[in-house]
């Protein structure tokens, strides 16, 4: 299959070229959108135990058509420059598709988090942040990192603290990074955001009756079968929310220790508790373990959710896929070679740049919260609650009927921050899907959803460049 990471970057560029060929945009403008604007490669020493280690790290700003740039920081032993460039490119297109006003960026630190203690990881994170500050590659109006594979709220809190130490008088300093703990200028609903976004994306796809009729698929999510590869943050939330709010049956889960299958339904919440206790998903009651962990691709299901790393479906295993729909919860899980095979088989791919955009959408809400210095819902929650209570009192007086206490609490409830975040995320995913679908209908030359999503992004980014006067 060749170099895994190189094929990821190559896949992104090939998919771009495929969509670009269908536009009438000037070649120079397309070349500008395609290229990574700034690539910062760094090496820095960190004391680990009694020795110093030289850490390899990157920050790539793909596009400055909007400011700030935005994108996660990945801690992985597989990090390299091409991977970070590919991820930064995807962030530009992702932000454009869901109308989040950022340019794309991404960061990577070549370390395996499992190989270091929390104190050592803190040293690495803080030193990486100092390198970014030195080169003006971080700031609420410059470049705003977020969590990615191998990082989470803890690392984001370290980044914020380091940035504030160097910028003590910056009033909007909290907006220099998103994905922070809620009690440290974070936002409720951020942890679940990417998984919830995947759920909304899949739900929207199955909600259009006329589209489903053409494909010979029963509309709606209720009773659909799902297989999840990767039970990290994104995979676990995708599974639990799809089960609770969509009535989906999860019949297969694949993780590093193996793949389990069920004839009925694997309760993801119970599976997560089981894994925490036992350290493995294997042996979970009501499931069988497949002999080969990689056979998750062969499980027959309605929806396959690759939620781990890139290039998991490639030209060597794509022929075995029996799923009708692939929802790309991870970034770049399907290579360009695999996509060609899957599309020929009649597979529908809900592309990563739309499907997993929930994370950056809620990161945008967190950034807005940090700049406004105001928790969402604080101004209107009680007003709405009191207005609805008065309305219910009036209805009771006019009808002579009593509304139960339970019904009152549901109807009169004012929106908390998490309610508003979920509502905003749902609106974003619904609107973006409608836009992608409209492009698919309007352009007959578009045969797949990824190309439609790319066209949506290209139209918006090109328009920004033209508005800036960079291109006439």
Report pLDDT digits (tens) over 172-197. 999 999 999 999 999 999 989 999 99
Q: What is the pLDDT of residues 333-347, one digit of tens each?
A: 998 889 989 999 889
Peptide bond just before 68 cis, omega within 30 deg? yes
Greater model confidence, 465 or 458: 458
CB atoms within 10 A of CB 244: 12
Q: What is the mean pLDDT of residues 199-213?
A: 94
Asked if residues 190 and 366 have their Cβ atoms less than 8 Å apart, the reply is yes
For 73, residues 6+ apart whose C-beta sits below 8 A from its C-beta are: 106, 107, 108, 109, 128, 145, 146, 147, 148, 151, 155, 159
Helix/strand/coil percent split, the chain, to 5: 50, 15, 35
d(CA 376, CA 93): 27
Q: Predicted confidence band at 446 (pLDDT cuts at 50, 70, 90)?
A: confident
Give the residue numbers marked as catalytic: 106
Asked if residues 41 and 81 have their Cβ atoms less than 8 Å apart, the reply is yes
Q: Is 96 exposed, middle or buried (0-12, 13-18, 19+ CB in 10 A)?
A: buried
CB atoms within 10 A of CB 377: 18
- pTM value is 0.91
Question: Phi, psi (5° rounding) for residue 383?
Answer: -60, -45
């Amino acid at each position: 299959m060749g170099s895994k990471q190189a094929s990821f970057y190559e896949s992104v560029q090939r998919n771009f070229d495929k969509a670009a060929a269908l536009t009438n945009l000037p070649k120079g403008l397309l070349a500008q959108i395609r290229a990574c604007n700034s690539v910062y490669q760094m090496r820095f020493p960190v004391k680990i135990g009694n020795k110093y280690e030289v850490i390899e790290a990157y920050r790539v700003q793909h596009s400055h058509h909007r400011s700030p740039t935005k994108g996660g920081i990945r801690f992985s032993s597989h990090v390299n420059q091409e991977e970070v460039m590919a991820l930064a490119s995807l962030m530009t297109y992702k932000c454009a598709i869901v109308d989040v006003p950022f340019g794309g960026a991404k960061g990577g630190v070549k370390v395996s988090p499992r190989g270091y203690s929390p104190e050592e990881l803190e040293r690495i994170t803080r030193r990486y942040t100092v390198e970014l500050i030195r080169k003006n590659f971080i700031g609420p109006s410059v470049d705003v990192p977020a969590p990615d594979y191998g990082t989470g709220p803890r690392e984001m809190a370290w980044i914020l603290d380091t940035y504030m130490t160097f910028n003590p008088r910056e009033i909007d300093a909290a907006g220099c990074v998103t994905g922070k703990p809620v009690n440290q200028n974070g936002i409720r609903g951020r942890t679940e955001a990417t998984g919830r976004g995947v759920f909304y994306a899949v739900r929207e796809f199955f909600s259009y009756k006329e589209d489903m009729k053409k494909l010979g698929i029963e509309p709606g999510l209720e009773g659909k079968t799902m297989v999840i590869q990767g039970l990290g943050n994104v995979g676990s939330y995708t599974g639990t929310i799809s089960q609770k709010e969509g009535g989906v049956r999860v019949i297969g889960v694949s993780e590093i220790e193996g793949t389990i299958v069920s004839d009925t339904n694997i309760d993801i919440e119970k599976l997560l508790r089981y894994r925490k206790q036992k350290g493995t998903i294997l042996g979970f009651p009501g499931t069988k373990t497949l002999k080969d962990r990689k056979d998750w691709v062969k499980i027959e299901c309605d929806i396959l959710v690759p939620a781990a790393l890139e290039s998991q479906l490639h030209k060597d295993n794509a022929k075995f896929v029996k799923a009708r729909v692939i929802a790309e919860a991870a970034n770049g899980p399907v290579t360009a070679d695999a996509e060609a095979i899957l599309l020929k088989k009649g597979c529908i791919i809900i592309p990563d740049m739309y499907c997993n955009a929930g994370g950056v959408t809620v990161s945008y809400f967190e950034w807005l919260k940090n700049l406004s210095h105001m928790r969402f819902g604080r101004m209107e929650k009680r007003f709405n609650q009191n207005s609805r209570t008065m309305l219910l009192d009036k209805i009771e007086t006019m009808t002579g009927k009593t509304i139960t206490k339970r019904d009152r609490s549901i109807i009169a409830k004012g929106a908390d921050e998490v309610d508003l975040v979920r509502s905003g995320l749902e609106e974003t995913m619904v609107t973006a899907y409608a836009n992608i679908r409209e492009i698919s209908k309007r352009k007959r030359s578009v045969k797949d959803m990824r190309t439609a999503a790319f066209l949506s992004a290209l139209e918006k980014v090109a328009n920004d460049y033209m508005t800036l006067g960079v291109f006439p």
